Amino acid sequence: VLFILNSVFRALDKVEAAIWSLTSAKVRILGLGSQSYKVTEELVASIGLAIDQAGDAAGVAISQVVFGLPSSWIQNDQITDPYDQLLKKICADLELDPLAFVPTFEAVAHFLHVSDLAPPSALVVNLGGDWLSGAVLKSGRVDKFFEIKRGESVAESLASQLVKIAEDEPIPSKILLFDGKDVLEKVKSDLLAFNWLTLKFENGENVFLHFPKVETLDEYVAVRSVAEATSADLSVAPVS
């Protein structure tokens, strides 16, 4: 079993779960589940429901878990406070056996590399709920990541953040969106309508050298990516 926590602790609003098997070095997804919630106190119950949903679809009940986590929860390959305590509570309350964790955007980068047969360079954005998280991928590696409060305009929220984090280095001219199922296509249209070539660094250089392509990724791409990364033993660290 694995589940993905899609944004920062103070803004978590959804969990996803997958049950999968590994046969001949290929991941097979057996069952998927997801649950949304409003307050942190609902988190443990929501995870339990998502896992049960995936288990019902798969026709199995298992207790081992791999966590897909935001990059902000991890430092020097260790889960930081208070998130390590949160995960210990989740495992204790739900009687889960934690095996490992994977930084979500690193897992997505690996998944895109395997899918496209080339290391990706792109801006990957998790639309989530009230918060946006994203990562700049360069040649298949996470170069930078961010988590920001989502404003009325996703394009403007992203634009202001990219100027801050890019450090005068152009952003790859491809934007990949995932999660946010209900608003995915609208956000895609808004990003395509935004004039990215007017976005400048303080030195006057363009943030994007070319108008970016905007694409959407499949539903559950994050949790599938964590499964693929786990099977490849990529960027997976043990849970202490």
DSSP per position, 51-100: HHHHHHHHT----EEEEEE-GGGEETTEEPTTHHHHHHHHHHHHT-EEEE
> How many Cβ atoms are within 10 Å of 121's Cβ, its own excluded?
18
Tens digit of each residue's pLDDT (9 = 90 or more) over 5-18: 432 233 357 788 88
Beta bridge partners of 138: 141
Strands 131-138 and 141-149: antiparallel
Single out the residue of 22, 235, 27, 210 nearest to residue 115, CA to CA: 27
Share of the chain above pLDDT 70, in %: 92
Share of the chain above pLDDT 90, in %: 44
Predicted confidence at residue 240, as pLDDT, reads 59
Do 190 and 157 form a contact (C-beta atoms < 8 A)?
no
Tens digit of each residue's pLDDT (9 = 90 or more) over 26-43: 888 899 988 888 777 888
